[in-house]
């Protein structure tokens, strides 16, 4: 028992060090948990005007310098996995995460994303999945880590997540407050297999953050991001939460008399999650944020926690994507 507790504590420290990913289409403006994007190799650089077009078995990467290049499925998925999993990710969780990421990338490539993402992967982050280069992953986390990511990617590429014969738009985030939200409730969007499910394993990691803004800073953000000019003098009147989801994420709030979503506020104030509380403190406001990422789909912390308690990749995927059809040609 003592060894298990020490292991969980070590895992928490590692997970807490991973920055949050913003990763939903820009139409619903969300946040992705991710590591720092990789650097582009000079030999692979192409100008933005080069018109790099991926083949049927490739993905398009937006490089840190603004150029674009086509990369293989293996490179794309290995880099996406490397960008988000903890360094000591439980093996079965790694397989499940890779399968979900692959399904998400395939969904984007097939062009059914309601957000119409302009590029399928990016080295810097933004509104699309992040891809960490092999060089950067090995430099930061070691060769063994990247080799594990490639192993997980092999499984993901040989696995399909579908609903009624169509590729699943598998959303994924870092951590929630013990339960996920349905896409219909939080995003006002119907996504198959994205219902609210328990995720008590997240509570072990207890990811929380606090972000403060002075009154002047908050007023500037409200004015620039929302176009609101008539801002009350009292910070206590800036934002008033109206409703929350099952996970504790803000569904709607009042900003100076105008209705906004929690995700809109999260993006405007650069918060790690739409699961937040706000209060006036001195000459400003303080956001207390729980979890990381938009809590719809699979929780990375939850998947890791399930695997550490003995669940296999199929059980993890079936839990977070209920009614999903899972098929695999991989024998590992």
Read off the pLDDT of residues 20-42 as tens digits, 9 standing for 90 and up: 333 333 222 233 444 433 333 33
Parallel, antiparallel, or unpaired: how do β-strands 58-62 and 121-122 relate?
A: parallel
Parallel, antiparallel, or unpaired: how do β-strands 258-261 and 68-72 relate?
A: unpaired
Q: Which two tokens stand for residue 314?
A: 């199929």
- What values do phi and psi take at 37, rounded to 5? -65, 155
The confidence score (pLDDT) of residue 60 equals 85
Site of tokens 């692979």 = 44
Tell me the three state secondary structure of residue 89: coil
The confidence score (pLDDT) of residue 67 equals 87
Q: Which one, of 131, 119, 162, lies nearest residue 40 by Cα?
A: 131
The confidence score (pLDDT) of residue 266 equals 96
The confidence score (pLDDT) of residue 119 equals 62
What is the C-alpha end-to-end distance of the chain, expressed in Å? 30
Nearest-angstrom CA–CA distance, 263 and 293: 10
Is the Cβ–Cβ distance between 96 and 299 less than 8 Å?
no
Q: What is the DSSP string of 237-268?
A: GTEEEEEE-TTS-EEEEEETTEEEEHHHHHHH
Nearest-angstrom CA–CA distance, 82 and 87: 9
The confidence score (pLDDT) of residue 33 equals 47
Judged on CB neighbours under 10 Å (0-12, 13-18, 19+), 77 is buried
Neighbours of 316 (CB within 10 A): 26
Is the Cβ–Cβ distance between 289 and 127 less than 8 Å?
no
Nearest-angstrom CA–CA distance, 14 and 3: 17
The confidence score (pLDDT) of residue 62 equals 86
Q: HEC states along 166-191? A: EECCCCEECECCCECCCHHHHCCCCC
The confidence score (pLDDT) of residue 14 equals 42
Strand ranges for the chain from DSSP E: 58-62, 68-72, 121-122, 159-163, 166-167, 172-173, 208-214, 239-244, 250-255, 258-261, 276-280, 284-290, 298-299, 325-328
Which parts of the chain sit beneath pLDDT 50?
A: 1-51, 112-118
The confidence score (pLDDT) of residue 2 equals 42
Is the Cβ–Cβ distance between 320 and 303 less than 8 Å?
yes
Q: Which two tokens stand for residue 31?
A: 């946040």
Q: What is the pTM of this model?
A: 0.81
Nearest-angstrom CA–CA distance, 284 and 39: 38
Q: Which two tokens stand for residue 1?
A: 């028992």
């Amino acid at each position: 028992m003592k060894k298990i507790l020490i292991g969980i504590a070590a895992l928490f420290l590692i997970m807490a060090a991973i920055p949050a990913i913003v990763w939903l289409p820009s139409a619903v403006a969300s946040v992705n948990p991710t590591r720092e994007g990789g650097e582009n190799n000079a030999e692979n650089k192409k100008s933005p005007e080069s018109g790099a077009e991926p083949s049927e078995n490739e993905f398009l990467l937006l490089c840190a310098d603004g150029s674009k290049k086509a990369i293989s499925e293996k490179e794309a998925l290995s880099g996406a996995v490397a960008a988000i999993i903890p360094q000591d990710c439980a093996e079965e969780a790694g397989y499940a995460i890779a399968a979900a990421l692959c399904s998400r990338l395939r969904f984007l490539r097939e062009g059914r994303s309601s957000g119409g993402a302009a590029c399928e992967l990016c080295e810097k982050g933004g509104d699309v999945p992040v891809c960490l280069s092999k060089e950067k992953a090995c430099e930061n986390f070691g060769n063994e880590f990247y080799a594990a990511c490639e192993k997980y990617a092999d499984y993901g590429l040989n696995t399909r997540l579908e609903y009624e014969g169509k590729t699943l738009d598998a959303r994924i985030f870092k951590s929630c407050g013990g339960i996920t939200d349905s896409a219909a409730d939080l995003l006002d969007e119907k996504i198959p297999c994205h219902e609210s499910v328990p995720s008590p394993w997240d509570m072990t990691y207890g990811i929380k953050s606090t972000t403060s803004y002075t009154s002047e800073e908050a007023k500037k953000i409200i004015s620039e991001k929302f176009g609101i000019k008539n801002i009350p003098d009292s910070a206590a009147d800036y934002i008033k939460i109206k409703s929350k989801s099952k996970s504790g994420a803000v569904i709607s709030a009042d900003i100076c008399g105008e209705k906004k979503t929690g995700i809109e506020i999260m993006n405007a104030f650069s918060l790690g999650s739409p699961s937040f509380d706000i209060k006036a403190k001195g000459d400003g406001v303080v956001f207390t944020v729980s979890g990381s990422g938009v809590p719809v789909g699979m929780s990375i912390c939850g998947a890791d926690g399930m695997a550490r308690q003995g669940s296999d990749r199929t059980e993890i995927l079936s839990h977070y994507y209920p009614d999903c059809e899972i098929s695999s040609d991989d024998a590992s």
